[in-house]
Structure 1
Amino acid sequence: MKKTIRLAAAAALPMMFPALAMAAELDGSKLSALWGVPFAGILLSIALMPLLAPSVWHHHYGKISAAWALAFLLPFAAIHGAPLAGSQFVHALVEEYIPFIILLTALFTVAGGIHIRGNLHGAPGLNTAILAIGAVLASLMGTTGASMLLIRPLIRANDNRVSKAHVVVFFIFIVSNAGGSLTPLGDPPLFLGFLKGVDFFWTARNILPNTLFLVGMLLALFYVIDRHLYRKEGVLPFDPTPDTRRVGFDGAANFWLLGGIVFFVLLSGVWKSPVGFEVFGTHVGLPGLVRDIGLIAITLVSFKTTAAKVHADNQFEWGPMAEVAKLFAGIFLTIIPVIAMLKAGAHGAFAPVIAAVTRPDGQPDPAMYFWASGILSSFLDNAPTYLVFFNTAGGDPATLMTTYATTLAAVSAGSVFMGANSYIGNAPNLMVKAIAESRGVRMPSFFGYMGWSVVVLIPLFVLSTFIFFR
């Protein structure tokens, strides 16, 4: 691993010169679709290697992610020049990846410092109640925060069940994705819309019916499936993790730190400051810098002050966070040309995608915006995908919140809801999967999980299209 890190650093160093500050914007209209091959490669690696070469993947996924990143960076630097390649590298690192990982790490650490004690039993009623509570919390503390808070007690409650992978799958559907659709705190795409000028409560007012429909149907389906399996399988005659204590919270002080995370994220959105500086052509504003420093401080305070017993009871470890950090480093870099080609609109390699969301009279088609943003968010990072279609629909928040409210609702819902279609559609998906597997749950493969999403989610999305986006 150290050798790979040194190789990546050596490849990046020639790019980082003062000339980077003058590097031009990446013009996606001049890029061939072949530049999407490294991105497709990392996606296929995530999908296939755990099945075809599990031992290699488990020990070397970080190196594989770095290799795909270099497969994009090195040829791009050779063809388009080190300044442009370096500026894109720094932009992805400084403006997107680092803040993304800092926020996820803060939520992961703080939520991992809260232990829900007590002897919970994973009967269908309790499991459904936990999923419903998680759906509410997801819009208040983010899908990552809610996922990290509840996934461990949910797994512990079901550790004497024979069939439990479906519990985690529906948890990803509901808590890690659909539940985060009502506020800018819930999911990164909505926060980006908030920064662009969308009112804080606009999403809740316009997507609440859709969210209630989707989450309600998922909870009902889950209860029916879980009840059937619960009655069919029976349970072990003993509880592997008995806990006679009264149900409650250990490490409850971390709830205050969760409030601190919400404060710093909101602050960065509402605080406007002209103060900032350039990092090789990428602007770093004071509000974002204060947010990131505050989140790092909260992470350290949480980790240092949380009792060791709480971490032990939660089986807290850095493995899931490390996996997400390494894989998304490759994803954030290899996605650079893909996003640029999408931003090029009708002049880029993905022009058919842009044409598909526009009616013959030139007006936006909400149903197509829902599916286009959703399908791309199933495999791309849903935050930049949201921005692409936000801008494709005009980019004016005042107009989008009124005249084209249905279109903006479609982009928002598609970006958030369909992040549940694959493990890589939203960061918490991979984190939940990694935590579940570290606790012995045999999770579906990449395509196995997508089998669940095709059977369960896609029909609900079709119904949502006819009900809300015609």
Structure 2
Amino acid sequence: MRRWGSLMTTTKAAARIVLSVAVLAVCAASPALAAEGKGIDGASLPLLWGLPFVGMLLSIAVIPLLAGHFWHHHYGKVALFWALAFLVPFIAVFGSGLAVYEVAHAALLEYIPFIILLFTLFTISGGILLTGNLKGSPGVNTALLAIGTVLASFIGTTGASMVLIRPLLRANDERRHNAHTVIFFIFLVSNIGGSLTPLGDPPLFLGFLKGVSFFWTTEYLFHDTAVIAAILLGVFYLLDRYFYAREEGLPAKVDPTPETERLGLRGRRNLPLLAGVIAAILMSALWQPGIEFDILGTHVPLPSIVRDVALLVLAYVSIRITPEFIRERNGFDWEPIREVAKLFAAIFLTIIPVIAILKAGSEGALSPLVAMVTDEAGNPFNAGYFWMTGLLSGFLDNAPTYLVFFNLAGGDPQELMTTHAVTLEAISAGAVFMGALTYIGNAPNFMVLAIAKSRGVAMPSFFGYMAWSGIFLLPCFALLTWLYFL
């Protein structure tokens, strides 16, 4: 009965998420205009339209610091406020038809697939339990981060993050100084490790769909990834040794994991489900029957619908076949996915005008940024592509940011893989690596944060995390620029 109650709660929560997005689109709509399917012209938008997005980011950064109790109970209302702060003026200025098209486009092609994938991986990984009293020593922690970094390119940064974050947290649950472990986990497993295949990170997957060969990233980003991963793993080991030494002399914390428990893996029935997630993603890219459905002016391909339904089925199967005690031992609850779903619904909505302005290129309000990626002769400035793609990916969705600069560089995959291979390398590395700069730079970042906080880890604030990323990541990115992009 407990498992059934948990399933019903989960199903209702997921249904509310999807229904909220649908109602938001339909209530604001004029059906005739919504079917037109014409997007907004970013060249006509002033930067003022980006204020709700900035407000949303500042809310995530500041309110938990100033009013943590309020944020914990009302973050959904804050997200709704900023969503309406964009949507109501947008409807007033551009009309309900264009508004419903943009909201439906963002929901059907971006947000709903995004949250379904996260929900599925969150559910399946929560049913995999690494047993045994694994001690979070510097050597063990560094090994777990290294394993996750490699694994991320095969099952994706989201998959690797969801599978390994709980074992890492349990290994360090008797340590007082453990926030840095989660921070470097986000750096390496949730971002940098996903750079070697299109399965690793959404921007590379979009490049694959555009015609970039599957193993191109393996060949051209291997040295970038090896350099930055080796530096960060080495720095982490030394840093963890420092914090580990500080544990000595402090009163011992109670280790909730039994000392006599043997090292093992429970919930192995979920492993084929993870393989099913990868298969569903690949299917949606490789199977092209040419069938699309026009929903409120947005063309949704049949493979995408099949993929999302398959992912939900896999999540349902995981809930049904996983014994409840496994999720209890994992400290599993649904609050992290609820928080991510509500906050990112507002982010995906308020980011609409920002992405439109960026897509306008030299004709948009962000044209000075676009000008930084070409030299005086009009040739690609690879260091500019690396930093502009990366810095924007740290605050915007890194997948559309990748596409914007991919197209600015010519958009021809054959030419980019050969004549301008370094340019494509810079775009790819920037989008993947610099997603680690903020909590919202890549899909799993915020999820890892939410899980760590739910397990009692004193994670830094939004700006506090950026201080960590600035200290440890920016010098690495500067080194990569000097080695490969100048």
Instruction: Verify same fold: TM over 0.5.
Output: yes
Specify which of 243, 247, 250 is matched with residue 263 of structure 2. Answer: 247
Distance 1:350 1:119 in 2: 52
Does 2:296 align with 1:280?
yes
| Match in the other structure for 1:334 | 350
Q: Is the 8 A contact 1:117 1:243 kept in 2?
A: no
AA of the residue aligned to 2:336 = P
1:149-181 Cα deviation digits (max 9, x unpaired): 111111111111121111111111111110111
Distance 1:73 1:238 in 2: 50
Does 2:244 align with 1:227?
no
| Match in the other structure for 2:367 | 351
The 3 A distance-change label for structure 1 pair 109 and 340 is same
| Match in the other structure for 2:154 | 140
Q: Is the 8 A contact 2:121 2:159 kept in 1?
A: yes
1:211, CA displacement in angstroms?
0.2
TM, length-normalised to structure 1: 0.97
Of the structure 1 ranges 118-127 and 423-432, higher mean CA displacement relative to structure 2 is found in 423-432
AA of the residue aligned to 1:402 = T
Q: Is the 8 A contact 1:8 1:66 kept in 2?
A: no
Distance 1:339 1:199 in 2: 26
Q: Is the 8 A contact 2:393 2:401 kept in 1?
A: yes
The 3 A distance-change label for structure 1 pair 252 and 243 is farther
Q: Is the 8 A contact 1:324 1:427 kept in 2?
A: no
Specify which of 312, 335, 339 is matched with residue 319 of structure 1. Answer: 335
| Match in the other structure for 1:78 | 92
Distance 1:266 1:380 in 2: 25
AA of the residue aligned to 1:444 = P
Q: Which runs of 4+ in 1 moved over 3 A?
A: 5-12
Does 2:176 align with 1:162?
yes
Q: Is the 8 A contact 1:29 1:347 kept in 2?
A: yes
1:11, CA displacement in angstroms?
7.6
| Match in the other structure for 1:57 | 71
Q: Is the 8 A contact 2:25 2:103 kept in 1?
A: no
TM, length-normalised to structure 2: 0.94
The 3 A distance-change label for structure 1 pair 401 and 7 is closer
1:211-246 Cα deviation digits (max 9, x unpaired): 010111000000001111212322627523225222
| Match in the other structure for 1:396 | 412
Q: Is the 8 A contact 1:267 1:291 kept in 2?
A: yes
Q: Is the 8 A contact 2:33 2:98 kept in 1?
A: no
Does 2:322 align with 1:298?
no
Secondary structure of 1:330's aligned partner:
helix
Secondary structure of 1:249's aligned partner:
strand
Q: Is the 8 A contact 1:342 1:348 kept in 2?
A: yes
1:5-64 Cα deviation digits (max 9, x unpaired): 989947851315132111422100000110000000100000101001111111111111
1:313-335 Cα deviation digits (max 9, x unpaired): 11111111111111110010100
Does 2:127 align with 1:151?
no
Q: Provide the aligned length of Structure 1 versus Structure 2.
A: 468
1:64-90 Cα deviation digits (max 9, x unpaired): 111111111111111011111110010
Q: Is the 8 A contact 1:180 1:416 kept in 2?
A: yes
| Match in the other structure for 1:42 | 56
| Match in the other structure for 2:283 | 267
Secondary structure of 2:293's aligned partner:
strand
RMSD (Å), alpha carbons: 1.6
AA of the residue aligned to 1:41 = G
Distance 2:72 2:442 in 1: 21
AA of the residue aligned to 2:477 = F
| Match in the other structure for 2:428 | 412
Q: Is the 8 A contact 1:38 1:334 kept in 2?
A: yes
| Match in the other structure for 1:204 | 218
Distance 1:337 1:78 in 2: 15
> Identical aligned pairs, as a percentage?
57
Q: Is the 8 A contact 2:34 2:297 kept in 1?
A: yes
Does 2:474 align with 1:458?
yes
Does 2:208 align with 1:194?
yes
Q: Is the 8 A contact 1:139 1:183 kept in 2?
A: yes
The 3 A distance-change label for structure 1 pair 230 and 10 is closer
Specify which of 435, 457, 461 is matched with residue 451 of structure 2. Answer: 435
AA of the residue aligned to 1:262 = I
| Match in the other structure for 1:370 | 386
The 3 A distance-change label for structure 1 pair 278 and 162 is same
Structure 1 unmatched ranges of 5 or more: none
1:374-394 Cα deviation digits (max 9, x unpaired): 100111111111111111111
1:265-322 Cα deviation digits (max 9, x unpaired): 0011111111121001100111111111111110110111111111111111111111
Secondary structure of 1:253's aligned partner:
helix
Secondary structure of 1:360's aligned partner:
coil
Q: Is the 8 A contact 2:166 2:330 kept in 1?
A: yes
| Match in the other structure for 2:198 | 184
| Match in the other structure for 1:111 | 125
1:184, CA displacement in angstroms?
1.0
Q: Is the 8 A contact 1:11 1:74 kept in 2?
A: no
Secondary structure of 1:97's aligned partner:
helix
